[in-house]
Structure 1
């Protein structure tokens, strides 16, 4: 079972207490964007077999959104962090790089 620590309230929560929100760090597209950009925003998502950055909501807790970095192969969690940032914190990227040499947050592994 996946277990994440909510960075907002500090509670360790099982996945049954959380609501998934899809891929983290997306560039949002709105009314002024092209049709192609809006289509890409709505439908084209990464679905990696490996390191992935995701959004989660502590639905049965504080109710706040946060981001998590984890490995989809092993369910290993590298860390959780605020949803108010535009990129993963360096300490989490360092933890990922220790386990996955050559990892790049831009292109994956």
Structure 2
């Protein structure tokens, strides 16, 4: 079982968490002007890289707070966790391919 270190509660079992998808996605500034195709692009289409990914996670069965995590999508290793609104840690994406 994977241990995820919640920045608020400490290390916990993976089953306590819910993945919220790709991190650092900015909501459109003027949503009224977007076409249906543009909304579909924003809502449904995300990167799915092999290697380093930045994701949002929720400690659903604990403090219920959101945080970001840097994860290797090949090994599933959590490389770093950091609070929402903070910049991602300096990690070399080439190292995780």
Aligned match of 1:79: 80
Supply the distance in 1 between the matched residues of 2:11 and 2:77 (Cα, whole angstroms): 15
Tell me whether 1:97 sits opposite 2:97 in the alignment: no
Structure 2 alignment gaps of length 5 or more = none
1:11, CA displacement in angstroms?
Answer: 1.7
SS in 2 for 1:12: strand
TM-score normalised over the length of structure 1: 0.74
TM-score normalised over the length of structure 2: 0.83
Aligned match of 2:62: 61
1:1-109 matches, cutoff 5 A? 1-7=1-7, 9-29=8-28, 31-35=31-35, 36-85=37-86, 87-88=87-88, 92-93=89-90, 96-97=91-92, 100=95
Which structure is richer in relative contact order (CA contacts within 8 A, separation 6 or more)? 2
RMSD: 2.2
Change (3 A) 1:98 1:52: closer
- Cα deviation digits, residues 33-53 of structure 1 (max 9, x gap): 412432211111011111000
SS in 2 for 1:32: helix
Structure 1 alignment gaps of length 5 or more = 104-108
Does the 8 A contact of 2:52 with 2:71 survive in 1?
yes
